[in-house]
Structures are given as C-alpha cells and as structure tokens.
C-alpha cells in the first residue's frame, strides 16, 4: 500500500514484504500517535497553575496501574502479530528454497558486480557461461537461484523492486532465490559500506520476457561468438596460406 505506491513490486514475495511493512506501520504508528497526543495534551492540561499544589502520584496504586495494564495488553498482542507475520515472510524468502529453473552467480568486489549467466545449456560453470559486468539479465516469471560471492570485503546485493537484500561475505557462497514478475530495467545497488567506491557500485537488472531473454542469451553465447570471429572467409585463408608458403620458400 505505502511502499507499493513509491516503488514497483517486481517479485513474487515483494507483496508479502510490503504487507508486513504496512502492518508494522499501522500497529506501531497508531499507538505512537495516540501516546504522543496524550503526552502533549497532558503536559498542557496539567501545567503549573497559580494556587494549585502539585499532586504526588507514585503510580503503584491499583487505580493508576490499571491504565498501564490496559495499554500494555494490546501492545503485546500487536507484538505477537508482527513477530508471527515476520517469521512467516522470513521463512518464505530466506529459509525456503523453491526449485529453480535457472541459476546465476553474483560476484561482488570493490567496486563492481560480475554476473555469470548459465548460457544456452542453462548450466553454470560450463564453456558457454555469459559473464557481464554491472548488468544482470533474467527472464520474467522464471524462478532463479543466485549464488552470491564476494572477492574482497562485505557487500550487499540489493534489488529494491524485488524487496531483496542479501549480504555478500568473502569466503562464503550464499544461495538465495527470486522470481521476477514485472518486465523492465531496475536498479541493483550495493547496500553495505564497502570502501570509498561504495556509492559507485550500482548495477542494472534487466527483466525480459522469456522470448527476449532467449534471444539475448543466443546473441551473447560466447562459443558462437568465438566461432564467428575465428572463421575467416575462405578466400582470405587461401591468400594467407599462399603468402606463408612463399615466405617459407625464400
């Protein structure tokens, strides 16, 4: 409701996190406003008056204690509601790992992101992997796992439209997941102070339709690109061979 109006939600769990924000804002914000109103109105109402002595109240008498208990009960109930909802969302986003259709590697370093896409065979760490710097390409409505690594210091992989944020820790491979639900180009930003260039560590995520994404993968297949550059036209090849033979014969 509140977050959604400021920033599009573009992953399957973004809505759950937005709902959690709304519930917390409501359950904490409304009691805060009521308490603030009472606090300031009592200050004004019971300010020093000529000829009126102040009354000493210890607050331990039953008639005063009941006002503390009555306010305490709903606050405790709100706490339980927030904790239960938060644990549920946390479990779905961070603890549970649904089956993925594809896996990408996200490598952070001072101060850039390297993304390794699995390429046409959809398997990471094979010769057709597509590596890019500061741009991640994914297909809409496809569940991805990401393997997050850091080459040097702590970084944090933050995709605000997915409501996804995960620290990258040197020496560890952290696996997480997301499923984009909205096509478009969105921001990625490092969200952990990682040195002087921390603010210069943005990247882009390009969420494409499955067809567009397949076309991108095909156009960037490193094996096809290598084959295309190594095969020179035949007439050029025979010319080179003739020239080589002529030089060798001398």
Q: Rounded CA gap, 147 and 37, in Å?
A: 49
Q: Rounded CA gap, 161 and 141, in Å?
A: 15
Taking CB under 6 A as the criterion, which residues in 151-170 touch ligand CUA?
155
CB of 162 to ligand CUA, least distance (A): 18
CA within 13 Å, CB half, 211: 0
CB of 189 to ligand CUA, least distance (A): 8
Q: Is 17 in the site for ligand CUA (CB under 6 A)?
A: no
Of the pair 145, 155, the CB lying nearest ligand CUA is at 155
Taking CB under 6 A as the criterion, which residues in 199-218 touch ligand CUA?
201
Q: Is 192 in the site for ligand CUA (CB under 6 A)?
A: yes
Of the pair 93, 188, the CB lying nearest ligand CUA is at 188
Binding-site size for ligand CUA (CB under 6 A) equals: 9
Taking CB under 6 A as the criterion, which residues in 41-100 touch ligand CUA?
none
Cα distances from 206 to residues 41, 120, 137, in angstroms, run 53, 18, 5
Q: Is 106 in the site for ligand CUA (CB under 6 A)?
A: no
Q: Rounded CA gap, 183 and 206, in Å?
A: 8
Contact 164, 94 (CB under 8 A): no
CB of 106 to ligand CUA, least distance (A): 12
Cα distances from 180 to residues 84, 125, 241, in angstroms, run 26, 23, 53
Question: 190, 205, 207, 217: which one contacts ligand CUA (CB under 6 A)?
Answer: 190
Which of the ranges 28-36, 73-81, 120-128, 194-202 carries the binding residues for ligand CUA, by CB under 6 A? Answer: 194-202
The stretches of the chain forming alpha helices (DSSP H) are: 2-6, 14-45, 62-90, 210-219, 222-230, 234-249
Which of the ranges 51-59, 70-78, 192-200, 211-219 carries the binding residues for ligand CUA, by CB under 6 A? Answer: 192-200
For helices 14-45 and 62-90, angle between their N-to-C axes, nearest 10 degrees? 160
Of the pair 132, 189, the CB lying nearest ligand CUA is at 189
Which stretches of the chain bind ligand CUA, using CB under 6 A? 108, 111, 155, 190, 192-194, 198, 201
């Amino acid at each position: 409701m509140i977050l959604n109006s400021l920033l599009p939600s573009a992953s399957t769990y973004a809505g759950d996190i937005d709902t959690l924000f709304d519930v917390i804002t409501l359950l904490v914000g409304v009691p805060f406003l009521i308490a603030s109103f009472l606090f300031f109105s009592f200050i004004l109402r019971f300010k020093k008056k000529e000829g009126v002595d102040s009354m000493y109240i210890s607050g331990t008498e039953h008639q005063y204690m009941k006002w503390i208990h009555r306010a305490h009960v709903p606050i405790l109930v709100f706490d339980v509601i927030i904790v239960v909802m938060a644990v549920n969302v946390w479990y779905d986003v961070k603890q549970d790992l649904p089956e993925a259709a594809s896996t990408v590697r996200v490598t952070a370093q001072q101060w850039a992101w390297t993304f390794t896409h699995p390429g046409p065979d959809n398997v990471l760490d094979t010769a057709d992997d597509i590596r890019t710097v500061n741009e991640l390409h994914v297909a809409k409505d496809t569940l991805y796992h990401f393997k997050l690594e850091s080459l040097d210091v702590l970084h944090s992989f933050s995709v605000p439209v997915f409501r996804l944020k995960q620290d990258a820790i040197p020496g560890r491979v952290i696996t997480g997941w997301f499923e984009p639900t909205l096509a478009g180009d969105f921001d990625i930003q490092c969200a952990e102070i990682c040195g002087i260039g921390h603010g210069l560590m943005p990247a882009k995520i390009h969420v494409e339709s499955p067809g567009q994404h397949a076309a991108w993968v095909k156009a960037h297949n490193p094996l096809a690109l290598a084959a295309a550059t190594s095969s020179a036209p035949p007439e050029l090849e025979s010319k080179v061979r003739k020239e080589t033979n002529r030089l060798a014969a001398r």
